Chain A
């Protein structure tokens, strides 16, 4: 396989909270159209790492480079303005607005009025959100809210998608649907997915990065990681 261009890179990225090294000297690379899952036990630093990428946290040291631009410590909106679609861990929606309006606001950032409307309609069809398009998202069930948020990411047509626990709190059916959607997004965009749900990761993953105590423990495909005794001890061992 030809080496594709690196689109996201972190160099010696560290994030310390007082004496706690939540992220410690992480060198990470993501290539174009790649789908990467970040896994690791609680407190391994995945979410902190994710927040450093999205500009929600300012790293203590090291650099975040997106498409050859150093984005360390830039505001979230500047990172999103590069064409990055972000879904945070907690469903982060415009609770008082309808599902349609939520998607529209995301799409309109990038497209003209007419194109945004078409894109939103397409996304609603694609994600089967037709029934709830006019509902206030604050009143929806958790799984539906997750779907709306994924819809917001899709409706903007980003080239890079960062998802923090997209399948959290979903039913099996919804998880399956999400996995399918993630694979479809991957046809046109690179993805970084932070996830706990092993079935979900098996369904989507290509290369998986395993975090442990703030650093990358190993990077390989899921089969190799599940076979590795040390990795099992760190993470999978706790589950089985």
Chain B
């Protein structure tokens, strides 16, 4: 199995995504298009977790902490600045810087992997309780009220430089898809660089990487921050799609969902978790509209099935299947050629 795909593969998938973007408005209902924006935000969250967990081997159980920080930072900044363009960058930076500070203590303190998962989860839950207690007029940042349990409103995207020229839902969808594609291509590129390959080597064997002379703490910290920044970007699109951000972005359920998407999609790929997000989101929301089966129950069953039967996730399993067929075909050809040569030698 190829552990990291080629960059060309990434570009091909990006091309397919562009085609999907262009035809989506003609096959989906308008309401679905509106919903898609928040799903795109969630799929960027899955992408960021695929990067840090699948490629860096860092199991971050609280990736939604950075997702939520991005969403809150955007919402607060958009009210204060009065435009979305700068706020998006503020959101990315806020998430990345928060991760850098947290990661510094975790990685330079040589906290082991298991504790890292616990710490990130705890941080996420602390933020959850914290934000729920911010109801009341005294909790505000600049002009933006945090709103406690009910959360705070998120401004829609607008044209760069003109805070009053808001984008229509269809335009927002195009922008969101563009951001998803850029984030995907960026991560796909990142894992083929020297930096990305060293991160993969850390996942494979951290001691060995250190013995080769790489400062693994620094690499992990950088990867952790980059992935947090991407999660923050996902948070922005999510809150724009929902038009509101509530403390629920920090909840245990949100963190667990991200991990389920990555497991189902395949943690060693980047596209798998993105696709899994879309599929599972629409599956659970269609289950939510009927009363026979509980949506969470179905989600749980899917997770159990995947962990037991397809532990590598959907995309790697399919890729493996093709790879095996290719090898088999190659072996058959070789055999035939050998036979032919034998025949000639005898003849």
Q: From known contacts A94-B208, A113-B194, infer whether A77 and B214 are also in contact, taking CB-CB under 8 Å.
A: yes
Collect the chain B residues with CB atoms within 8 Å of residue A109's CB.
212-214
- Let me know if A65 is at the binding interface, CB within 8 A: no
Collect the chain B residues with CB atoms within 8 Å of residue A88's CB.
207-208, 211
| Listed stretches A26-34, A100-108, A218-226; interface member | A100-108
Assess whether B207 is in contact with A93, with CB atoms less than 8 Å apart: no
Collect the chain A residues with CB atoms within 8 Å of residue B198's CB.
105
Which residue in chain A gives the minimum CB-CB distance to B218? Answer: A77
- Let me know if B216 is at the binding interface, CB within 8 A: yes
CB distance from B9 to the nearest CB of A (A): 17
- Let me know if A5 is at the binding interface, CB within 8 A: no
- Let me know if A8 is at the binding interface, CB within 8 A: no
Chain A positions 62-110 with a Cβ under 8 Å from a chain B Cβ = 75-77, 80-81, 84, 86, 88, 92-97, 101, 104-106, 108-110
Complex: A109 Cα to B205 Cα, angstroms:
16
Assess whether B194 is in contact with A108, with CB atoms less than 8 Å apart: yes
Chain B positions 254-288 with a Cβ under 8 Å from a chain A Cβ = none
- Let me know if A193 is at the binding interface, CB within 8 A: no
Complex: A104 Cα to B198 Cα, angstroms:
10
Collect the chain A residues with CB atoms within 8 Å of residue B113's CB.
none
How many positions in chain A have a CB within 8 Å of any CB in the partner chain?
27
Collect the chain A residues with CB atoms within 8 Å of residue B205's CB.
92-95
Which residue in chain B gives the minimum CB-CB distance to A136? Answer: B1
CB distance from A226 to the nearest CB of B (A): 33
Which residue in chain A gives the minimum CB-CB distance to B198? Answer: A105
Contact with A along B202-239 (1 / 0, CB 8 A): 01110111111111100000000000000000000000
Assess whether B211 is in contact with A97, with CB atoms less than 8 Å apart: no
Assess whether A80 is in contact with B3, with CB atoms less than 8 Å apart: no
Assess whether B213 is in contact with A77, with CB atoms less than 8 Å apart: yes
Assess whether A93 is in contact with B213, with CB atoms less than 8 Å apart: no
How many positions in chain B have a CB within 8 Å of any CB in the partner chain?
20
Assess whether B3 is in contact with A96, with CB atoms less than 8 Å apart: yes
Greatest chain A CB density within 10 A among B3, B204, B212 is at B212
Assess whether B200 is in contact with A80, with CB atoms less than 8 Å apart: no
Assess whether B216 is in contact with A94, with CB atoms less than 8 Å apart: no
- Let me know if A152 is at the binding interface, CB within 8 A: yes
Collect the chain B residues with CB atoms within 8 Å of residue A156's CB.
212-213
- Let me know if A54 is at the binding interface, CB within 8 A: yes
Which residue in chain B gives the minimum CB-CB distance to A112? Answer: B194
- Let me know if B132 is at the binding interface, CB within 8 A: no
CB distance from B298 to the nearest CB of A (A): 32
CB distance from B334 to the nearest CB of A (A): 14
Collect the chain A residues with CB atoms within 8 Å of residue B3's CB.
96-97
Q: From known contacts A101-B197, A105-B197, A105-B198, infer whether A96 and B204 are also in contact, taking CB-CB under 8 Å.
A: yes
Complex: A222 Cα to B216 Cα, angstroms:
40
Greatest chain A CB density within 10 A among B200, B203, B213 is at B213
A152: contacting residue among B1, B210, B212, B215, CB under 8 A: B212
Complex: A109 Cα to B216 Cα, angstroms:
12
- Let me know if B201 is at the binding interface, CB within 8 A: yes
CB distance from A111 to the nearest CB of B (A): 11
CB distance from B347 to the nearest CB of A (A): 30
CB distance from A123 to the nearest CB of B (A): 14
Collect the chain B residues with CB atoms within 8 Å of residue A95's CB.
204-205
> What are 30 sample pairs from A and B whose C-beta atoms fall under 8 A apart?
A75-B210, A77-B210, A77-B211, A77-B212, A77-B214, A77-B215, A80-B211, A80-B212, A81-B213, A88-B208, A88-B211, A92-B205, A92-B211, A93-B205, A94-B205, A95-B205, A96-B3, A97-B3, A97-B204, A104-B197, A105-B197, A105-B209, A108-B194, A108-B197, A109-B212, A110-B213, A113-B194, A152-B212, A156-B212, A156-B213
Residues of chain A having any CB pair with chain B under 8 Å: 54, 56, 75-77, 80-81, 84, 86, 88, 92-97, 101, 104-106, 108-110, 113, 136, 152, 156
Top 8 closest pairs, chain A to chain B, by CB: A80-B213, A94-B204, A81-B213, A76-B210, A77-B210, A92-B208, A86-B211, A109-B213
**Contacts A56-B207, A81-B213, A109-B212 known; 5 new A-B pairs at CB < 8 A:** A88-B207, A93-B208, A94-B204, A97-B201, A136-B1
